[in-house]
Amino acid sequence: MPNINFIGVILAGVLGMFVGFLWYGPLFGKRWITLMGFSKEDIEEAKKKGMILNYGLGLLGQLATACALSLIVASSFQYFGGFSYSLIFWIWLGIMVPIQMGGVLWEGRSWGLFALNSTYYLVQLLVMGFVLSYLG
């Protein structure tokens, strides 16, 4: 089993979280709020409740993703002699996209929300893969 560089995992997890802040904040936050059907009151209520637990759990999820991706990146170096971003694309297309499609097919989510979220996961995985390929 390949070794995990925990500094790389932590950095990749934090950067994954940062991508999410940008994606669902200044870049596409208004679009996401509309696609989710949230009102301004919903957003204000969430702010009043505090989001620290959500952010903490989100960071744990990012770290878990970074840890798993670190093993994949390390294995790709071990078995293929290098890392290819096409590997990230296939992980995204074969795992993340079908999972996100479930929200459209079974939960009544819109295709617009699917596109926004799925594209975020591709960017997130690419950023993490970049970090881990250099620090892994």
Give the residue from 72, 91, 92 showing the smallest Cα distance to 83: 72
- Lowest pLDDT segment from 6-10, 47-51, 72-76, 79-83: 79-83
The sign of the CA dihedral 88, 64, 17, 44 is: positive
Q: What is the mean pLDDT of the chain?
A: 91
What is the mean pLDDT of the segment spanning 86-96? 92
pLDDT surpasses 80 at 9? yes
pLDDT band at 63 (very low <50, low <70, confident <90, very high): very high
The region of weakest confidence among 35-44, 46-55, 88-97 is 46-55
User: Other C-beta atoms within 10 Å of 73: how many?
Assistant: 28
Most confident of the ranges 14-23, 68-77, 126-135: 14-23
> For 109-130, how does the pLDDT look when each residue is reduced to its tens digit (9 = 90+)?
999 999 999 999 999 999 999 9
pLDDT-based confidence at 51, cuts 50/70/90?
Answer: confident
Distance CA 48, CA 117 (A): 25
Tokens of 40: 């301004």
